[in-house]
Amino acid sequence: MTDITDNMRKYSSQVVDGIEAAPARAMLHAVGFTDADFKKPQIGIASTWANVTPCNMHIDKLAEEAEKGANAAGGKAVIFNTITVSDGIANGTEGMKYSLVSREVIADSIEVVAGCEGFDGLIAVGGCDKNMPGCLIGMARLNRPSIFVYGGTIKPGAGHTDIISVFEAVGRHAAGELSLIQVKKIEDSAIPGPGSCGGMYTANTMASAIEALGMSLPGSSAQDAISADKASDCYRAGQQVLELLARDIKPRDIMTRKAFENAIRVVIALAGSTNAVLHLLAMAHAVDVELTLDDFTEIGKTTPVLADLRPSGKYMMSELVAIGGIQPLMKRMLDAGLLHGDVLTVTGKTLAENLANVADYPVGQDIIRAFEAPIKKDSHLVILHGNLSPTGAVAKITGKEGLRFAGRARVYHGEEAALAGILNGEEVAGEVIVIRYEGPKGGPGMREMLSPTSAVMGKGLGKAVALITDGRFSGGSHGFVVGHITPEAFDGGPIALVEDGDAITIDAETREISLGVSEAVLAARRARWTPPKPLYTRGVLAKYAKLVSSAAEGAVTDK
């Protein structure tokens, strides 16, 4: 148990101390507080539990473990809920427009509850793509001692399948490779239980980035959702937040520029999702750390891709868990001079101290490559500029797709039209599929193009066509794809002016994306272009479209 001092009750004391706080204490008695509890630091536990998705269906039990740990260490824990939505369920539908929006709603709700209730410290337990960065943004804004706990990864489905197997089965059916019965068999067995999607998709990418950032306990990002290790991780986080309170260690002490550089390097080494770019920019904004797209380019020049993980690779997260997770990788990177070892973490120790006694991976494993034999010698996250994306775009190019693509544009307004075209066989080899008006404002909500990219892969066109968009991609997307094209079409970016048949060149080595149309022709097209009317005029999507910044700035709503 931590020795409790009044300094650890900076916020809760304002709510429960003194005669004037009698009404507040009366309310809290009704929810289980004793007189003794009013003298303890209050620890808010933000649970993203919901039965809307397997990623989060078990998190209520994990939050209870964190509660036990905080109470055992001398605090008074209070569990509260925030929302989550499921990308895997909503992808390809109008509902997916709410996905990225949920990141802001989650951040806002954590800030609102903790700020109102006077919690002295925070633990957040997240398990799906957007609720993890949402939790970090909320904790960062409040800047009270905080720890993030990852809900853990799912087990593989039958035949080494996962959710992406199902998406790609749809494309394989359209190509005539799978019958409806075969697709149904994959559908029924690919998701065996609780946990986040099983590859190095956005959930596992962000969990790894947050651990590398120092905001999770060591090992938190690489544990199975249903395991003794994950339950222990939650309990220990509950205890450790009291230690952070005692030492007054807050998110801004941990989430420094050096820490973000560490997170970027680990994401690259793991071949992580392009969504990490969007989310790390937003998280850095929350703590006033200057981070830009160009930083990903510079850091990427000297960071190799080492992990052979899905979607572009072979293995699943559960298999990385079995050999030790990301801690041995980080130890290798630290020893190679690729990580800053002097940064503070939620253990109260530096990253170097945390990694000092970490054992290497077992001999013979081939999930994490040696530095001498990388999958790619530099980053797979390629920031592209050019007359098609003057303020930057994000490509995920591991090298397996090739490093350069040149073709003719086939243009679609929105994801649904593109998916229908792909499944109906409109695309031919050598074309660049252009999906526009899917940006943060134009969608609104910057939907993931997982259904179109999965259809492309399922139809065997992964190396034959490219796909570009002002929307974004799921961590499960692979192939020659470029997203986050800015300025977006809704703002009159050049992608709004592309026409069928235009020449487009994407070059990962020169980091350029260019439209083979003269400036005079583009000027004429711009003169004819009419800004679209907003699709939503009421509610959260309308508010989001009015407030959201460019994807090049993290698509934040409080800039």
Burial 400-434 (b: 16+ CB within 10 A, else e): ebeeebebebbbbbbbeebbebbbeeebeeebbbb
* 112 CB neighbour count, 10 Å cutoff: 12
φ and ψ at 446, to 5 degrees? 55, 65
Distance from C-alpha of 329 to C-alpha of 128, rounded to nearest angstrom:
23
The tokens 């951040």 sit on which residue? 107
The β-bridge partners of 124 are 46, 148
Q: Is 130 annotated as a binding residue?
A: yes
Q: Which is nearest to 401 in space by CA: 374, 415, 380, 371?
A: 380
Distance from C-alpha of 503 to C-alpha of 40, rounded to nearest angstrom:
66
Distance from C-alpha of 236 to C-alpha of 57, rounded to nearest angstrom:
21
Q: Give the strand order in the sheet containing 76-81.
A: 76-81, 42-47, 121-126, 146-150
Distance from C-alpha of 540 to C-alpha of 544, rounded to nearest angstrom:
6
Distance from C-alpha of 454 to C-alpha of 201, rounded to nearest angstrom:
14
Q: How does DSSP classify residue 153? A: B
φ and ψ at 171, to 5 degrees? -65, -35
Distances (CA, A) of 550 to 105, 292, 400: 18, 12, 30
- HEC profile for 500-522? CCCEEEEECCCCEEEECCCHHHH
Distance from C-alpha of 320 to C-alpha of 316, rounded to nearest angstrom:
7
Catalytic residue among 220, 474, 514, 550, which? 474
Is 454 noted as a catalytic residue in this protein?
Answer: no
Distances (CA, A) of 341 to 123, 300, 334, 539, 551: 24, 19, 7, 45, 30
Contact in structure between 5 and 74 (CB atoms under 8 Å): no
Q: Is 129 annotated as a binding residue?
A: yes
Burial 90-101 (b: 16+ CB within 10 A, else e): bbbeeebbbbbb
Distances (CA, A) of 447 to 90, 92, 94, 104: 10, 8, 9, 15
Which spans in 190-249 are helix H?
A: 202-213, 228-247
Q: Which is nearest to 407 in space by CA: 464, 445, 338?
A: 464
Q: Is 448 annotated as a binding residue?
A: yes
Q: How does DSSP classify residue 3? A: P
* 185 CB neighbour count, 10 Å cutoff: 16
Which amino acids are annotated catalytic? 474
Binding residues for [2Fe-2S] cluster, as ranges, are 55
Point out the annotated binding site. Answer: 55, 87, 129-130, 448
